């Protein structure tokens, strides 16, 4: 087994993962566990940065964990765990907050978007320090590669800056991680507004993998395209059609140009129908597996506890080193 590590996280903020989460991130998690020591985390602490309902958060965390396993993350080959089970994440965050500039944090576009959406006054301080918690997640495991979608690139840059800053002030402690962003599927677009990324917060154009098959198929068949009829991969001029081609190509392991050629002369209807079939071919067995896992909460809790214990084994000594390097006196 390689000594190189990957780390990634996903928020448990909705009942179901969306297609962009799967194609942009989790599909790559599954692949990377073959060649890396992999740590995959349901980042429940990140969900506390916006108002949340306690019962919903508990359910969403269990469901998110089950979805990671159902997607193919294998506890025998990787370490799937829940962020709040490993206290070191919150502890290292505090250290990193002291190293982050106020201006630097203010430039994070995700913070700017999310805080202006609900009115800047009502945004929490947690939303502002969210990227330092994410940096702590990554740095605690001396991570080399972080598979994420394009929207996380700026947070990764901040994580790299913080690692370098810490290392140069206090001595070599953290690995400076690389973003692992697969270009083809880095930004799956909203089906109703193909200029925006597919997002849980815009449910109209978002495919939730655990939705009933009919709902999923209808959303894909009613995807916004354009007023032409020609199927062509051209993200700038034809974002809607190109997005469907990207989805279909990724799910059938082909490249977009090959897929585009297959629809020359056949119009948008056939492309939409086949894209819907490809999504359902993945989503239906996926949902069945998630239900099976959730039907045995005792076993799920056991796998979770085992993941947390293995994560802590790596995180605890790294935190202890960081504490010691910044000058905190050990307790005993």
The catalytically annotated residue of 187, 197, 219, 238 is 197
> What is the number of alpha carbons within 13 Å of residue 311 lying toward its C-beta?
32
Give the number of residues written for the chain: 332
The residue within the footprint of ligand LTN, chosen from 71, 134, 191, 206 (CB under 6 A), is: 134
Q: What one-character DSSP code corresponds to residue 91?
A: H
Rounded-to-integer distance, Cα 220 and Cα 224, Å: 9
Name the minimum Å distance from CB 76 to ligand ATP: 23
| Angle at which helices 125-139 and 109-117 cross, to 10° | 150
* 238 a catalytic residue: no
* 261 a catalytic residue: no
**Can residue 138 be called a binding residue for ligand LTN (CB under 6 A)?**
yes
Rounded-to-integer distance, Cα 81 and Cα 79, Å: 6
Residue 269's Cβ-count burial label (10 Å; 0-12, 13-18, 19+) is exposed
Write out the residues near ligand ATP by the rule CB under 6 A.
Answer: 10-11, 18, 20-21, 24-25, 148-149, 151-152, 186-188, 197-201
Q: Which of ligand ATP, ligand LTN, none does residue 81 bind (CB under 5 to 8 Å by kind)?
A: none
Q: Which of ligand ATP, ligand LTN, none does residue 137 bind (CB under 5 to 8 Å by kind)?
A: ligand LTN
* 219 a catalytic residue: no
Name the minimum Å distance from CB 126 to ligand LTN: 13
Over the window 17 to 56, marking each residue x when it contacts ligand LTN by CB under 6 A and - when it does not, the resulting string is --------------------------x--x----------
For residue 162, which of 127, 125, 137 has the smallest C-alpha distance?
A: 137
Name the minimum Å distance from CB 74 to ligand LTN: 19
Rounded-to-integer distance, Cα 181 and Cα 211, Å: 27
Which residues are designated catalytic? 114, 197, 200
């Amino acid at each position: 087994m390689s000594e190189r590590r990957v780390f990634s996280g996903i928020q448990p903020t909705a009942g179901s993962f969306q297609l962009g989460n799967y194609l942009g991130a989790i599909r790559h998690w599954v692949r990377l566990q073959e060649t890396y020591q992999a740590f995959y985390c349901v980042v429940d602490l990140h969900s506390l940065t916006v108002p949340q309902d306690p019962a919903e958060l508990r359910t969403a965390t269990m469901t998110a964990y089950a979805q990671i396993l159902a997607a193919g993350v294998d506890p025998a080959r990787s370490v799937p765990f829940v962020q709040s089970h490993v206290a070191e994440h919150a502890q290292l965050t505090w250290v990193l907050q002291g190293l982050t500039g106020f201006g630097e944090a203010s430039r994070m576009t995700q913070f700017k978007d999310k805080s202006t959406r609900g009115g800047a006054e009502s945004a929490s301080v947690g939303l502002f320090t969210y990227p330092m918690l994410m940096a702590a997640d990554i740095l605690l495991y001396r991570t080399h590669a972080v598979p994420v979608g394009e929207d996380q690139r700026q947070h990764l840059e901040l994580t790299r800056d913080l690692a370098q800053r810490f290392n140069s002030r206090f001595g070599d402690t953290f690995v400076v991680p690389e973003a692992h962003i697969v270009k083809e599927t880095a930004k799956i677009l909203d089906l109703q507004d193909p200029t925006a990324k597919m997002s849980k917060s815009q449910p109209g154009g978002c495919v939730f993998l655990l939705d009933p098959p009919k709902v999923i198929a209808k959303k894909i068949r009613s995807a916004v395209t354009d007023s032409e009829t020609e199927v062509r991969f051209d993200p700038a001029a034809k974002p809607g059609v190109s997005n469907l081609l990207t989805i279909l190509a990724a799910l059938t392991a082909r490249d977009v140009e090959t897929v585009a050629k297959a629809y020359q002369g056949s119009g948008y209807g056939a492309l939409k129908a086949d894209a819907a079939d490809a999504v359902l071919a993945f989503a239906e067995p996926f949902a069945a597996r998630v239900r099976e896992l959730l039907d045995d909460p005792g076993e799920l809790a056991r796998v979770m506890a085992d993941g947390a214990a293995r994560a802590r084994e790596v995180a605890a000594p790294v935190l202890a080193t960081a504490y010691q390097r910044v000058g905190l006196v050990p307790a005993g």
